[in-house]
Amino acid sequence: MSDNTKDLITREEALAYHSEGRRGKIEVIPSKPCSTQRDLSLAYTPGVAEPCREIEKDPGNSFLYTARNNLVAVITNGTAVLGLGNIGPRAAKPVMEGKGVLFKQFADIDVFDIEVDAEDPDDLINVVERIHTTFGGINLEDIKAPDCFKVEQELVEKLNIPVFHDDQHGTAIITTAALINAMELVQKKYEDIQIVFSGAGAAAIACAKMVMELGVPKKNITLCDRRGVIFTGREKTEEHRAFFAKETSKRTLAEAMEGADVFVGLSGKDVVSPEMLKSMSEKPIVFAMSNPDPEIRYELAKEARPDAILATGRSDYPNQVNNVLGFPFIFRGTLDVGALRINEPMKMAAARALAELARQPVPQKVRDAYDGIELSFGPEYIIPKPMDPRVLWWVAPAVAQAAVESGVAHRPITDMDAYRDHLKKLLVDRKY
């Protein structure tokens, strides 16, 4: 089954898209009039001195008199870019610009992309700490594990603005939303299921920790990396992976999948065979999310296990687990209440909002965006589509409310209905 995905683009088309006309994908434009002498006097000297004085009195006024309240830094050192690996900060810039486009397109959030030439995590932390006063939030991107854990943790502790590593938590939030709905369909209990992860990097570890919040016992989670099952006592196991080490005689991914209820793939192409799927329990949940090539091809998985609920990271199959369903809207809600951080209640609120939205009737205009295909809650629709505009006013208010209730909102919103109405109007006049 295919969505409205167009024919595969060519290398030439991709390069032309990025190089023709104004090069790259983003630009900075004034948000206030600047066409008269009076405008210039307000924008710069002498008028600009007044907000400077107010911010000097109270640094918090920087959120009132500058673009900081709607400005996110997308920051990378280019050490783990998509499936390309450690390609460096310069080669990572097209991806970070793309991230900026998505922030603006889906949630009207402005972005400066910052590519830092610093492989040492301490150097990267130092750079971000020194420039954070420019921004309302920090989105860390494409930083290799285990460095990404240290970078995020230290910045969360040091800064008074939200810091979010999307490769970890964005993936975890969307995966959790999909799992909530898949579990509803197969009618299994969290405390009873066995989950196997193929891949034990930042995304997999974040996903595993988040499903524990749903009620899955840690002992029911099996992580597998390139060396196989992460078991108690295994030598040379990195500390974040070792957290999930378990007492087991199983040593391979194939052995781990025998009788498993859920498979979550965040590893690589074709590491799962049809026989491995056939060894799983009845009505298995299979999230093969390696992109662009999943752990097992959708058609093979469907043939091997017609009773499975399947999801991938691709847009040309049902149930695309796509981070764009998360980060723009999570930051939108976070910025709008002036949250000091993005905490666990906010992440779970986002996941549950996405899950609930997928159970609602889908408007015709959303179906039209996907060639009119049928979209209704069921095995082939457990997660909203990225082009569904309702995600904005479902997820952002849920995150904002969770921030208020958990005590991290500096500027609480008291009328969430009015806030939802505001969000519905937010993108009406967008340029693209």
The residue from 44, 158, 218, 424 that is catalytic is 44
Torsion angle of alpha carbons 311, 312, 318, 320, nearest 10°?
A: 100
Q: Average pLDDT of 114-143? A: 97
Angle of helix 166-186 versus helix 344-357 axis, rounded to 10: 50
Q: Is residue 5 part of a domain?
A: no
In one letter, which amino acid is 370?
A: Y
Q: Which of 136, 161, 186 is the last residue of a domain?
A: 161
The answer on 176 and 87 residing in a single domain is: no
CATH code for position 150: 3.40.50.10380
Q: Is residue 403 part of a domain?
A: yes
Token pair for 394: 């479902």
Q: Is residue 1 part of a domain?
A: no
pLDDT at 430: 54
pLDDT class of 291 with cuts at 50, 70, 90:
confident
The answer on 228 and 148 residing in a single domain is: no
Torsion angle of alpha carbons 214, 219, 220, 223, nearest 10°?
A: 100
Identify the domain containing residue 126 by its residue range: 17-161
Q: Is residue 14 predicted with pLDDT exceeding 90?
A: no
Q: Is residue 63 part of a domain?
A: yes
CATH code for position 275: 3.40.50.720
H or E element at residue 301: helix 298-304
The answer on 304 and 360 residing in a single domain is: no
Phi, psi (5° rounding) for residue 32? -125, 155
> CB-based contacts of 389: which residues, under 8 Å, 6+ apart?
366, 427
H or E element at residue 71: strand 71-76
The answer on 139 and 180 residing in a single domain is: no
pLDDT at 22: 85
Q: Which of 293, 312, 331 is the last residue of a domain?
A: 312
Give the C-alpha separation, 334 to 2, whole Å: 34
* 209 is annotated as an active-site residue: no
The answer on 259 and 139 residing in a single domain is: no
Give the C-alpha separation, 331 to 354, whole Å: 15
Q: What is the pTM of this model?
A: 0.93
Q: Is residue 431 predicted with pLDDT exceeding 70?
A: no
The answer on 62 and 146 residing in a single domain is: yes
Closest by Cα among 16, 1, 133 to 66: 133
pLDDT at 4: 42
Q: Average pLDDT of 364-387? A: 92
Of all residues in the chain, the percent with pLDDT exceeding 70 is 97
Q: Average pLDDT of 73-98? A: 94
Give the C-alpha separation, 293 to 129, whole Å: 37
Q: Is residue 276 predicted with pLDDT exceeding 90?
A: yes
Tokens 């830094």 identify what position? 73
Q: Average pLDDT of 275-285? A: 98
The answer on 175 and 109 residing in a single domain is: no
Closest by Cα among 311, 279, 322 to 380: 311
The answer on 188 and 282 residing in a single domain is: yes
Q: Which residues pair with 71 in a beta bridge?
A: 110
The residue from 17, 57, 99, 317 that is catalytic is 99
Answer whether 330's CB lies under 8 Å from 392's CB: no
Tokens 């505001």 identify what position? 422
Q: What separation, in Å, do the N-terminal and C-terminal C-alpha atoms of the chain show?
A: 28
Other CB atoms within a 10 A radius of the CB of residue 46 amount to: 8
pLDDT at 119: 96
pLDDT tens column, 236-255: 999 999 999 999 999 999 99
pLDDT tens column, 132-174: 999 999 999 999 999 999 999 999 999 999 999 999 999 999 9
Q: Is residue 34 part of a domain?
A: yes
Overall domain count for the chain: 3
Token pair for 87: 């390609």
Q: Is residue 404 part of a domain?
A: yes
Q: Is residue 7 part of a domain?
A: no
Q: Is residue 65 part of a domain?
A: yes
The answer on 302 and 363 residing in a single domain is: no
Give the C-alpha separation, 188 to 197, whole Å: 18
The answer on 174 and 143 residing in a single domain is: no
* 44 is annotated as an active-site residue: yes
Query: What Å distances lie between residue 212 and 170, 179, 190, 206, CA to CA?
Result: 16, 12, 9, 10
Helices (H) and strands (E) in the chain, counts: 18, 10
Give the C-alpha separation, 302 to 114, whole Å: 42
The answer on 182 and 118 residing in a single domain is: no
pLDDT class of 3 with cuts at 50, 70, 90:
very low
pLDDT class of 9 with cuts at 50, 70, 90:
confident
Q: Which residues pair with 195 in a beta bridge?
A: 221, 262
> CB-based contacts of 172: which residues, under 8 Å, 6+ apart?
203, 206, 207, 209, 210, 347
Q: Which of 161, 185, 202 is the last residue of a domain?
A: 161
The answer on 340 and 295 residing in a single domain is: no
